[in-house]
Structure 1
Amino acid sequence: MQDMQQNTIQQTDVIIIGAGPSGSSAAALLRKKGFQVAIIEKQHFPRFSIGESLLPQCMVFLDEAGLLDTVREHVGTCGFQFKNGAAFLRGGKRSFYDFTQKFSEGPGTTWQVRRADFDQLLAEGAQALGADIRFGHEVIAVDVKTSQPILTIQPEQGTAYQIQAKFLLDASGFGRILPKFLNLESPSNFPVRRALFTHIEDGIGLDTDFDRNKILITVHDKDHRAWYWLIPFADGRSSFGVVAEQDFFDAYLTGNAEQDQSEVLLKRILADDESLSKVLAQAKFDTPVRTLVGYSANVKHLAQSNYALLGNAGEFLDPVFSSGVTIALKSSSLAIPLVERAIKGEQIDWQTEYEQPLRQGINVFRAYVEAWYTGEFQDVVFSRHKNPDIERMIASLLAGYAWDERNPMYKNAKRRLATLAEYCREDISPAQLSEI
């Protein structure tokens, strides 16, 4: 430590913790403005991550960062799957939303991606623009009391060092580096849920009703609090997982350690849903099954005068509508113009200029997530009667356009969803639905 202290503190314009989508896109945006950027990334890429189903709104942010062409050039070699919507399954009921028929302006299609490849492409794109990404380097201390933050970094090989910047961005995702170091973590109001997931050879033939161009969200036929995701890639493989509260999983445990291994447990839960079991009748489980518990998180604030939290480092809701990457990229898009102004010496009201605008869209996503688990949004999704105009408005939100204030379903999203669900339960006509 004494040797480290004797060394000169390294200097840069902006330090970013984490090279995932929010970190790499933020770095790309900063490099386009001419700033020096150092990204501190503990892991080595490519590395496994979930969150494979992008939303069309992501395309806007990737393009803004100059990273869209990088991804597009590798769609074929990486097996990224064209995506134009979301499909839903509950027992014998099916429903879907076509993102190309949405209310909001902007792209209506995107891809379903292996995050290991996708995240590496974004990182490589940021590096091509001049970002200094330091893989295998871990943040071991943070000092934001000085006007220019100082981080102490431990590389896998060699001596710890310090680096100072004019501004600090935390894009560490579930690592949540600044919230932990600065005691910013705040309890989420979501129940503790568990995700059990893997990648599979899905074995889905062309003679099924399954549409590879859409993520499939299946409500567990016997417990509507639980749901499965099935995210197809372009090479016959899929990301597959189930999400529920712990008591749901407990009901499937036998008490036998061998019989309760993660893969056996996931197969047992799949077998208990007849409709999805038919879709995956030929699936091969050939990748270790992983688990994630208590992933929902919140913080006391998202930014101060010399640092800001991006993406999942600040807040993560739930995987049900694949909002994670969209929120991550949106946070970078919002933050970087403010970082530029802060570096130039302007006073920034981070609460009104960053946190409030970002949370407005997050709160729309939150309303839909909460309504999904209470069953209100499920009733809307599986209603026999659909109003085309409302379908387009909902399609926009599911496509990631949660910040479109022109969308009537944006304002008072929670109340409007509750009213819509009530109408759907009463089985009224499409014309009456337009009255909400």
Structure 2
Amino acid sequence: MNTNTETETTAGDAVDVAIIGAGPAGAVAAALLRKAGRSVLVLERQHFPRFSIGESLLPQSMEYLEEAGMLQAVVEAGFQYKNGAHFISGDRVSAFDFRDKHTAGWGTTYQVERGTFDNLLIGCATKAGAEVRFGHAVRTMQTGDAPVLDVEDEAGHAYRVHARFVLDASGFGRVLPRLLNLESPTRMPTRAAIFTHVQDGIPFGATDRNKITVAVHPGHRDVWYWMIPLAGGRSSVGCVAEAAFLDAPEEVRDARLRELIREEPTLARLIGDAPFLMPVRHIGGYSANVEQLHGAGYALLGNAGEFLDPVFSSGVTIAMRSAHLAVQVLLRAFDGETVDWQREYDVPLRKGIDTFRAFVERWYSGELQDIIFYPHQTESIRRMISAVLAGYAWDESNPYVADPVRRLNTLYEVCSQT
């Protein structure tokens, strides 16, 4: 089956850009490249639609959907409208409306079932002229100025793809980091999530369905829940904690998540015994990192390069931002310009990732929770925090982007002293 030898591999295809993975990063990159007239081949190991988490988008992502020519399709798809986030810790409540923020731009977005959403985006890329092959897995890569991919389809047929450049948008599959041994230690602790969908039956007005709910466990500040209202009366519900806290055999995961839901008063009231629509799923060890987001003939997009944590729903936004930046650099290179991938792609992308990282780390330490629930918030600072939570983690006119660690540390000192 896994035959990649010269004698058993067909001559294959030649293309400007080969993209590994058909998720949001791959779809947006493909559409942007097709707008510029470049030939694109997308290789996706799975078949769409397929289930994925990361269902609560951030408003910043709408800019990239618009740029890629996908906005109308998304708006017309009937997804659940989203305008903010609702944080809960015991009797403390803090709601952020993303339309009220420091940074100009989109303040609303959607909460989506990712199987439908991702299928919609890659469909838009196909309509733009990208070729997409589902059920095709990349087995090896030869790096360099003319990279070569060895690919195998589900029937065991192996063939070769010659590309001018390769973009890895394989998400948690992390194809090139695995094949090229690019992995490096992540600074994030090993956490896990258990989650499902419910038919929530929440009465009208009992909660704001236009916001994601993030609730803190009453006994553990580093354990939190999400409730993401979706269209059609469904909600995505999950719990995130260090891996040992959620460790349970598969056969009792449903009971474990139900128990956790009942321990948090707001979710117990809103979800309670609402029926699970699928077996409870588990994902762990998802935080990942690499030393560089690029190499000879390739660049890593989104989760294929680095993933932090699901708490602020930053994954899809980072994925789309990476596609936007990488395509800009790549098109200039194709036009004959000398480009510096480190300076023009890696460093700018990591600026926003590091902003999110500062927020994530302080969420789990409890410092950001004290900031978010602080009762005497300054409106201008609140709008700066709101902008980052809305995905605008690259806007350096925002002090909490320009210098997030120092600013958050100082803000916490103020909030903890009064």
Q: Same fold (TM over 0.5)?
A: yes
Q: Which SS does the other structure have where 1:396 is aligned?
A: helix
**Matched residues in 2 for 1:167 and 1:12: separation?**
9
**Paired residues, number:** 415
What residue in structure 2 maps to residue 45 of structure 1? 48
Contact 1:216 1:231 in 2 (8 A): yes
What residue in structure 2 maps to residue 265 of structure 1? 256
1:196 to 194, 197, 212: 194
2:64 to 61, 64, 82: 61
State the shift of 1:422 in Å: 1.7
1:356 to 342, 347, 350: 347
What residue in structure 2 maps to residue 303 of structure 1? 294
State the shift of 1:343 in Å: 2.5
Structure 2 residue 378 is the aligned partner of structure 1 residue 387:
yes
Q: Which SS does the other structure have where 2:133 is aligned?
A: strand
Match of 1:347, as an amino acid? T
What residue in structure 2 maps to residue 30 of structure 1? 33
Contact 2:261 2:272 in 1 (8 A): no
Match of 1:295, as an amino acid? Y
Structure 2 residue 145 is the aligned partner of structure 1 residue 142:
no
Match of 2:16, as an amino acid? D
Contact 1:203 1:281 in 2 (8 A): no
The answer for unaligned runs of 5 or more in structure 1 is 428-436
State the shift of 1:418 in Å: 1.4
What residue in structure 2 maps to residue 249 of structure 1? 246
TM-score by length of 1: 0.93
**Matched residues in 1 for 2:346 and 2:307: separation?**
14
**Matched residues in 1 for 2:177 and 2:339: separation?**
21
Q: How does 1:170-181 map to 2 (within 5 A)?
A: 170-181=168-179
**Matched residues in 1 for 2:95 and 2:9: separation?**
62
**Matched residues in 1 for 2:337 and 2:28: separation?**
23
What residue in structure 1 maps to residue 73 of structure 2? 70
- Which sits farther off after the overlay, 369-378 or 272-281? 272-281
Are residues 283 and 66 of structure 1, via their aligned partners in 2, closer, same or farther at CA, if it must alter by over 3 Å?
same
TM-score by length of 2: 0.96
What residue in structure 2 maps to residue 334 of structure 1? 325
Q: How does 1:180-259 map to 2 (within 5 A)?
A: 180-208=178-206, 210-249=207-246
What residue in structure 1 maps to residue 103 of structure 2? 104
Q: Which SS does the other structure have where 2:209 is aligned?
A: coil
The answer for unaligned runs of 5 or more in structure 2 is none
1:374 to 342, 365, 369: 365
Contact 1:228 1:243 in 2 (8 A): yes
Contact 1:215 1:230 in 2 (8 A): yes
What residue in structure 2 maps to residue 433 of structure 1? none
State the shift of 1:338 in Å: 1.1
**Matched residues in 1 for 2:264 and 2:170: separation?**
36
What residue in structure 2 maps to residue 124 of structure 1? 123
Are residues 8 and 316 of structure 1, via their aligned partners in 2, closer, same or farther at CA, if it must alter by over 3 Å?
same
Contact 2:8 2:158 in 1 (8 A): no
State the shift of 1:6 in Å: 6.2
State the shift of 1:8 in Å: 2.2
Contact 1:4 1:162 in 2 (8 A): no
Contact 1:84 1:108 in 2 (8 A): yes
**Matched residues in 2 for 1:305 and 1:295: separation?**
26
Contact 2:9 2:159 in 1 (8 A): no
Structure 2 residue 90 is the aligned partner of structure 1 residue 91:
yes
Contact 1:54 1:111 in 2 (8 A): yes
**Matched residues in 2 for 1:365 and 1:376: separation?**
14
**Matched residues in 1 for 2:262 and 2:164: separation?**
54
Contact 2:173 2:304 in 1 (8 A): yes
Match of 2:246, as an amino acid? F
Give the % identical residues: 52
Contact 2:169 2:302 in 1 (8 A): yes
CA deviations 1:146-193 (Å, max 9, x no partner) are: 421111111112521001100000000000000001110011111100
CA deviations 1:98-124 (Å, max 9, x no partner) are: 101111000100000000000000000
**Matched residues in 2 for 1:312 and 1:306: separation?**
19
State the shift of 1:292 in Å: 0.6
Match of 2:101, as an amino acid? K
